[in-house]
Amino acid sequence: MDVASTADDEISLFCTWALTVTHVACDYMKEKFNAEKTGGDPVIPSPNLDTDLVMACDRLVDRLIKAYKNPIYQSNCFITVQMPIDIARYSKLIFPKDIGHNEEREARLLERCPLGHEGTKLIDIPATILDASGAIIAWYLPDALTDATQNQSDLEVSASLKGPSSEDILKAIARPAAIATVALRVMHPQQYWTGSQAFASLGDKAGSKELPKMSETLQYWAMVFNILTIICNRETPNHRDHSWIPKCFDILTSVGNYSNARMSMPSLQLEFRYDPGCMIAFSGRTVRHGVHAVEGD
């Protein structure tokens, strides 16, 4: 069995897996992010990464650095927003099956965990949202996806991975899936390594229990998330993803031909410009969120 071992947690992935290439990109991303953050030496990407993927990683590093650094500028640079809310305490006040549709209850939650500002603030430049303890609640990265990455996201509606087109579907989403995982490597390392371990274990189980379809699917699965949801031309009312894990990030990206979209997070009294190429990461279980209808595709 040909496997590639990771250096950090000694996780073995099959050399032929798309996820192995993603992991190489993650290593490059981590090193480049740290070098940019500390003023270190330039980082040379692995020759196993194609040019488009390297350019996509470089774009993402630029946006992550702008969001991570703390100084607040007056215009077109970056911003860090610190909220007085304690997100761990806030999370414990949410009922296990609370989907965030009860406006009266949401108002009471805001009263118990006040945010310290009136009205809704619009964020339209790279940002990290911090709680009172300094923990990052959300990453906001506008223009995070290159045109090449967005153009590789042309999917059919309601496609099933159990059908004959599963290989083509997984190959079509490989680049945006890899970019979401690369971002997670910086944003939430623990979640990244947990996901990597889970897929390594799935590979072992598929082999030991002789599950050829699972082995085939894993070969083309390029991310450490086990769920990918595609929402096409649909308004999503404010809600919580009640079945998700509170301490984990969801990563949302947007592609298409439209303008003036907004993602709202009423539990933080924030709103984000959500134009094509945008990436937002946060706990969908804890932070109430929604996207309103816009014109376009």
What is the C-alpha radius of gyration for the chain, rounded to an integer number of angstroms? 20
Give the residue carrying structure tokens 């940002």.
Answer: 127
Which pLDDT belongs to residue 232? Answer: 79
260: its two tokens? 């003036």
Percentage of residues of the chain with pLDDT beyond 90: 40
Q: How confident is the model at residue 13 (pLDDT cuts 50, 70, 90)?
A: low
Q: How confident is the model at residue 135 (pLDDT cuts 50, 70, 90)?
A: confident
Q: 192 near 224, Cβ under 8 Å?
A: yes
Span 215-265, pLDDT tens digits: 888 888 999 998 888 887 788 899 999 888 888 999 999 988 888 899 999
Span 149-173, pLDDT tens digits: 887 655 444 456 667 777 888 888 8
Average pLDDT over residues 138-148: 92
Which pLDDT belongs to residue 161? Answer: 65
pTM score > 0.85 for this model? Answer: yes
- Burial 72-87, CB ≥16 within 10 A → b, else e: eeeeeebbbbebebeb
DSSP code per residue over 149-180: HHHT----TT--TTSTTHHHHHHHTHHHHHHH
Which pLDDT belongs to residue 75? Answer: 36
Distance CA 81, CA 65 (A): 15
Give the residue carrying structure tokens 């993650």.
Answer: 26
Span 270-280, pLDDT tens digits: 999 999 999 99
